[in-house]
Structure 1
């Protein structure tokens, strides 16, 4: 007596040679994350470089700028409080 294994029907959407890239939602997520990471990496290098070349920033200012790029900024700060803090800091100049 031989037993024959029956395979479940292959769903073409799940079993394509492209894997997860066959799904539109995953492609959109992947593309968005790729662009976001690339933009973050470019900003890390380009922002201090522009500050040095355009604004004649010194090493200390470049270091502060680089540190500010890597600091975690809270998302829970209200827009009004953040705007008023920026205005008061700008007026003290």
Structure 2
């Protein structure tokens, strides 16, 4: 469970930081703002993927690749088709 909590913590932290970034104002024509936002989104997305993969693994379910993870979550009724499409895109 510790790894799940750690991954959730990373997702929450990146979400909070991105919200602060938006509230503070940003300029995506500024190289530093671009890199900061891209990096935060990448860290957040990877933590989400890792979380989903770990959850499936804990349930004894295997999945290959991002689309496989999303499909398995939908097959198990854990996400809707719309949510699956978000993960797969």
TM category, shorter: 0.3 to 0.5
What TM-score results when the alignment is normalised by the length of structure 2?
0.35
Structure showing greater Rg = 1
Q: Which structure has more RCO (C-alpha within 8 Å, separation ≥ 6)?
A: 2
What TM-score results when the alignment is normalised by the length of structure 1?
0.34
Greater helix proportion: 2
